[in-house]
Amino acid sequence: MLFVALILAIGSLVTTHAVLGWALPPQLPLWAAIIIALVLYHVAASPLRFARHAGYYGPYGYGWFALWGAMVWTALVVLCFWFAWWHWAEVQHFLQHLSVQIRQLGASAPSWGIDT
């Protein structure tokens, strides 16, 4: 889920120079904002990845830990998404305008010599 958020944030940065309504400072170049987003993703994802892998190699085998971890993780992601949707206006605005941003990204992409 964090990776999907990273991709959406980078797409939003490229198209609108903002993420969830927060605009980039004028002196910050786009490439630096993308690198900052990548570093923040790595900082947030690394402890979760390490904890998940540590739980798989317990004394009782890793199969049941992996299954239980996936079920709990999925439930938490759904709960967080639901909470953000109902209680965070910026998330609602972002998701409602996501299709427009994707269309703008597709329209502004170079054709790379492919005729349509």
User: Could you tell me if residue 112 is inside a domain?
Assistant: no
User: Could you tell me if residue 22 is inside a domain?
Assistant: no
State pLDDT tens for residues 42-78: 888 887 777 777 666 656 556 666 667 778 878 888 8
Q: Which of 35, 41, 39, 53 is nearest to 2 (CA)?
A: 41
User: Could you tell me if residue 113 is inside a domain?
Assistant: no
User: Could you tell me if residue 35 is inside a domain?
Assistant: yes
Total residue length of the chain = 116
Is residue 27 within 8 Å of 70, Cβ to Cβ? no
- DSSP 8-class letter at 24: P
**Distance, CA of 116 to CA of 38 (rounded, Å):** 33
State pLDDT tens for residues 77-108: 889 888 888 888 887 887 777 777 777 766 66
User: Could you tell me if residue 50 is inside a domain?
Assistant: yes
The pLDDT, as a whole number, for residue 109 is 58
User: Could you tell me if residue 65 is inside a domain?
Assistant: yes
Domain around 93: 2-17+28-98
User: Could you tell me if residue 107 is inside a domain?
Assistant: no
Is residue 9 within 8 Å of 90, Cβ to Cβ? no
User: Could you tell me if residue 23 is inside a domain?
Assistant: no
Domain count, the chain: 1
